[in-house]
Structure 1
Amino acid sequence: MRIGAKICGISTPDARDAALGGGASHIGFVFFAPSPRNLDPDASAALAVGVPDHVGRVGVFVDPDDALVERAVAAAGLDTIQLHKTAPDRVAALRTHFGVQAWAAVAVKTRADLDAARTFSGAADRILYDAKTPDGAALPGGMGLRFDWSLLDGVRHPLPWALSGGLDAGNVAEAVRRTGAALVDVSSGVESAPGVKDSAKIAGFLRTVATL
C-alpha cells in the first residue's frame, strides 16, 4: 500500500512544484489569518492552476464562516476541507453544503483526547490526528509539535485517518511503522522558517515516504 503524503501550507509556486514533483498525494492551502501560511483565496487560485486532478486540494480552516469556505472552495477548486476546532454538526453542515470531503482535526495530548474522534462518525470523511498545542497558542497546528504515537495503539478508528504533528524526513518512517498511518501530513517539518517552505526538505520528506 502506497503511503499518501500531504504537504500543507503551500503558498508559493516553488513549494507547490516541489510537492507535485515529489509525488505528494495532497497539497494544503491554509485559510486562517493568524497563520504565517495564510493565503487569500485569490492567491490560492493562482497556485491551484498547476495542480493535476489526481492530487487532492485541501483547504485548512479553523471554525470558519460560510463566506470564507465558499470563496476558498471556488478559488482553489478544493475537493476537501480540513477543519480545526469545529464541532461535529458544523463539520457535517459544511461538508453537505459545499459538496466536498471533510477532514476533522482531533488535537491529541492524552489517550482521552482520542475519544473526540468518535463524535465525527457520520459527520466527516477522515480524522486528522494532530498534536495539541499549548493553551492560549494562536495556532491549532503547524508548530512542529508531536504527540506520543503510542497513544494510538489499539485504537479502533471510527473513520479513515491521517497522522500530523511534528513530522519531518527524519521521523516519518518511524511514525508510519509505529502507527500504521496510511496518510501523513507535514507543514513546519519542511520549512526553513515559519511559513517558508524549503523545496529540498519537501523533496526529502517525499522521498522517504515513497520508500515506505
Structure 2
Amino acid sequence: MTVAAKICGLTDAAAVAAAVENGAAYVGFVFYGPSPRNISPEKAAALTASVPNSVQKVGLFVDPSDDLIRQVLAALPLDLIQLHGSEPPERVRDIKKTFGLPVMKAIKIDSAASIADASPYEGVADMLLFDAKEPKTMKNALPGGNGLTFDWTLLADAKIKSRWMLAGGLNAENIAEAVRISGAHIVDTSSGVEIEPGRKDPAAIKTFLMATQAIETQKQVET
C-alpha cells in the first residue's frame, strides 16, 4: 500500500522546501482570514513558484465567495480546491463548474452517525477529507487544524465510494497506527508538524514524511 501525504497550512519557504524535498504528494495553503495559517494569494504564489508539477497545490477555503476563489486563482494555479466549511453539495457542484477544478470536501467526524454526512457528497466532490469535529466547548476552535484526533475505527468498516484523505491531529508518532486502523491511503497534517499554530517545523515535516514512507515500505515488504 502506498501512503501519500499532504502538508497543509504552509506559510514559509523552508517549510515548503521540506515538504517537497521529503516526498509530500500535496502542499496546502490556507485562505481563511481567522486562521493563524492564513496566507495571501501573492505570498502563496511566491512559495509555490518552485514546487514541481508532480506535487499538487491545494487551496483550503471555508465557505468562500466566488470572488475569493477567483482572486486566489488569479495569483497562482491550484490543482485542488479544499472546502472546509459548511458548504452543501450544491455549492461544491457550483464551485467545480465555475472554476473547472477538482474539489475536496471536508467532513467533520465525532461519532459513527457523522460518517453518514459524507454520503450526499459522494459523486459530487472529487475527494473527501475526514477530520475531527471540534467540540462545542472548545475555545477559539478553527474549522480544521485544531490538533484533535477522532476514533479511526469509524472509518475502518465504512463503505466510502469516493477517494478520501485522513486528517485530524496526525503526527509522526501516531500516523502508522492511524493508517493501520482507518485504512487510509492519503493522510494530511498541519498542527502535527508545527512549533506553534501557523509556524511549521521543517524537521518535523521531514520526520512525518519519513514515517509515512516507512508505512509504505513495511506494507510492501509484508506483501
| Residue deviations 1:122-157 (CA, integer Å, cap 9, x gap) | 210011000001227441110100101111131000
Counterparts of 1:189 and 1:82, CA distance in 2:
19
Deviation at 1:158, TM superposition (A): 2.7
CA RMSD in angstroms, aligned pairs only: 1.0
Counterparts of 2:10 and 2:107, CA distance in 1:
22
Contact 1:57 1:76 in 2 (8 A): no
Contact 1:190 1:201 in 2 (8 A): yes
- Per the alignment, residue 75 of structure 1 pairs with 75
Secondary structure at 1:143 match in 2: coil
Secondary structure at 2:92 match in 1: helix
- Per the alignment, residue 166 of structure 1 pairs with 169
Counterparts of 2:140 and 2:102, CA distance in 1:
27
- Per the alignment, residue 146 of structure 2 pairs with 143
Deviation at 1:74, TM superposition (A): 2.7
Identical counterparts, % of pairs = 47
Contact 2:154 2:182 in 1 (8 A): no
Contact 1:142 1:165 in 2 (8 A): yes
Deviation at 1:78, TM superposition (A): 0.4
Equivalent runs, 1:1-212 vs 2, <5 Å: 1-84=1-84, 85-135=86-136, 137-212=140-215
Would you identify which runs of 4 or more consecutive aligned residues in structure 1 move more than 2 Å?
A: 134-138
Pair member with larger Rg: 2
- Which deviates further from its counterpart, 197-206 or 134-143? 134-143
Counterparts of 1:93 and 1:71, CA distance in 2:
17
Counterparts of 1:5 and 1:111, CA distance in 2:
25
- Per the alignment, residue 218 of structure 2 pairs with none
* TM-score for both structures, normalised by structure 1: 0.97
Counting matched residue pairs gives: 212
Counterparts of 1:141 and 1:28, CA distance in 2:
13
* Structure 2 stretches lacking a partner, 5+ long: 216-223
